[in-house]
């Protein structure tokens, strides 16, 4: 449970930090565009970049241009691709700052905004993953409160107490109690699943019946009563 909480907070905080970094990068890029000088450049070479596994090869252009002082400047783009986005000898527009022409950029959407887009996408995904877990927890708590106040108690037949193989933390699978109940009013059978239990509950189950709180209008909303189980020390 501590691991789950850590993951939830970690993803949310990391996502929030990435989004804040995206906002700062956006402002910095916008300021760069607004204060930069435009020049004509030429791609003079394609530089090969290879991943550590040597399975992925990409190419980034080496560009030269003359700044307003007449100095010949060369710089390599921070973005690369395969196939190459540019060819040797191709003319490109360049944006640079007078005080740091070596940090010039090709005037292209992805060349300028690519980092902001990628950073923002990663931050959004991380924040949504972490944030959604908080929303789910809040909804679960609200449902539990309502069921404890207004839920209908029924006695369901215990089917099994088994490992939840669809979920694991640090290689461990929790247990859950599976039970079923036939609604006498509709003759429909409803299957209920308990919350995850982080120890084997089988030794503590002394009956073939278990109490379940349900919402009569929607039995899918339910709480399997596990109060008979000891707390984890």
Q: Average pLDDT of each block of 10 consecutive residues along the chain (233 residues)?
A: 71 89 92 94 92 79 94 92 92 94 91 88 89 83 88 95 89 93 93 94 94 92 93 77
Give residue 52's pLDDT.
67
- Gap between the Cα atoms of 15 and 119, Å rounded: 10
């Amino acid at each position: 449970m501590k691991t789950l909480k850590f993951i939830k907070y970690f993803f949310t905080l990391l996502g929030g930090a990435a989004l804040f970094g995206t906002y700062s990068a956006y402002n910095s890029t916008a300021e760069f565009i607004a204060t930069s000088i435009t020049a004509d450049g030429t791609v003079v070479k394609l530089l090969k970049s290879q991943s550590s596994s040597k399975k992925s090869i990409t190419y980034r252009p080496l560009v030269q241009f003359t700044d307003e002082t007449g100095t010949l400047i060369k710089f390599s783009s921070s973005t690369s691709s395969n196939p190459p986005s540019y060819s040797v000898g191709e003319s490109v527009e360049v944006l640079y700052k007078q005080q740091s022409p070596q940090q010039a950029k090709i005037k292209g959407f992805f060349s300028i905004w690519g980092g902001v887009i990628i950073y923002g996408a990663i931050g959004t995904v991380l924040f949504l993953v972490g944030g959604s877990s908080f929303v789910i927890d809040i909804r679960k708590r609200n449902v539990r409160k309502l069921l404890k106040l207004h839920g209908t108690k029924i006695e369901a037949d215990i089917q099994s107490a088994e490992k939840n193989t669809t979920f694991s933390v640090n290689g461990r699978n929790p247990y859950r109690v599976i039970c079923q109940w036939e609604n006498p009013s509709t003759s429909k059978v409803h299957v209920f699943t308990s919350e995850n239990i982080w120890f084997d509950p089988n030794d503590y189950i002394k009956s073939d019946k278990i109490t379940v709180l349900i919402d009569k209008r929607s039995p899918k909303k339910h709480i399997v009563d596990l109060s008979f189980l000891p707390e984890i020390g």
